[in-house]
Amino acid sequence: MNDTPQVSRLVRTALFVSDLDRSSRFYRQGLGYHEVYSGGELTHKVANDLLGVPEDAAIRYEIVKAEGPSFGMIGLFEVIPSPPAVNCRTGGVNVGEGCLVLLTTDIRAVRNRLVDMGAEIVCEPQRLIVRGDGPGNLEMTCRDPDGMLINLIDRPAGSF
């Protein structure tokens, strides 16, 4: 028997957004996280404690997911009044910053859809070879409406 505490695979990431409706459209329509796992307003005081926001702050949320098991979901949280934004330089990464890494079957189509939604492209699709002399994958990076870095990796259908 193993007495070492276990930690599961990533269930979801939580993003704090300035406009829940705009971010929901971006992740649902732009990235294909069509299903809503849960949403509404968090009214239990513990939610405010967990987020470190005043007891009278309102918290609206929506947890979106791709089709399939309830893992790898993206929780979008809008706190009102809004806390200060994180100041990050654009055009590259910042220490302490997160990056969502997602697979896609058509990186160029997703890129075009995201650009139409106002995404900032950090790096256009380019072939990255990580291991040996294999063919590598097309990858790109962009930012969501609040500046969250997203890395898209092109993979064939059925490989994820």
133: pLDDT strictly greater than 80: no
Mean pLDDT in residue range 16-32: 96
Of residues 138 and 92, more confidently modeled? 138
In this structure, is the dihedral angle defined by the CA atoms of residues 147, 144, 93 and 79, taken in order, positive or negative?
Answer: positive
90: pLDDT strictly greater than 90: no
Mean pLDDT in residue range 12-27: 96
Total-model pTM: 0.87
Average pLDDT across the chain, whole number: 91
Mean pLDDT in residue range 126-134: 82
